[in-house]
């Protein structure tokens, strides 16, 4: 986990214990969440990649990325 990179990306201090946190593409059409910020499934993201709690991702109707099963 590259925490320093995350801090640069989000310009906030992030909790480096990412248990329960997932990554999503901040787009209305994104339907997947990812455990890894460098997942190939996020490679197509044209928007900002954001970190959200797994609870929130599931609440938003997102499902686990097919590359990570
Ligand atoms: Zn993924």
8 pLDDT above the threshold of 80: no
Q: Ligand 1 centroid vs 24 CA: distance in angstroms?
A: 9
Q: Ligand 1 centroid vs 19 CA: distance in angstroms?
A: 16
**CA 11/CA 35 separation, integer angstroms:** 20
pTM higher than the cut 0.85: no
| 35-60 residue pLDDT tens | 999 999 999 899 999 999 999 999 99
Q: Ligand 1 centroid vs 48 CA: distance in angstroms?
A: 15
32 - beta bridge partners? Answer: 63
pLDDT number for residue 69: 75
Angle, CA 61 vertex, CA 18 and CA 51 arms, to 5°: 25
**Confidence band of 28 (pLDDT split at 50, 70, 90):** confident
Contact at 8 Å (CB) between 56 and 24? no
Question: Does the residue 62 lie in any domain?
Answer: yes
67 pLDDT above the threshold of 80: yes
Question: Does the residue 15 lie in any domain?
Answer: no
Question: Does the residue 45 lie in any domain?
Answer: yes
**CA 33/CA 41 separation, integer angstroms:** 9
Domain count, the chain: 1
Handedness of CA 3, 35, 27, 14 (dihedral sign): negative
Q: Ligand 1 centroid vs 41 CA: distance in angstroms?
A: 4
């Amino acid at each position: 986990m590259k925490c320093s990179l995350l801090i640069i990306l989000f310009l906030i201090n992030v909790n480096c214990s990412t248990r329960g946190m997932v990554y999503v593409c901040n787009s209305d059409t994104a339907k997947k969440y990812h455990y890894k910020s460098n997942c190939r499934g996020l490679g197509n993201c044209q928007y900002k990649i954001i970190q959200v709690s797994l609870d929130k991702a599931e609440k938003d109707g997102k499902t686990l990325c097919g590359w990570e099963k």
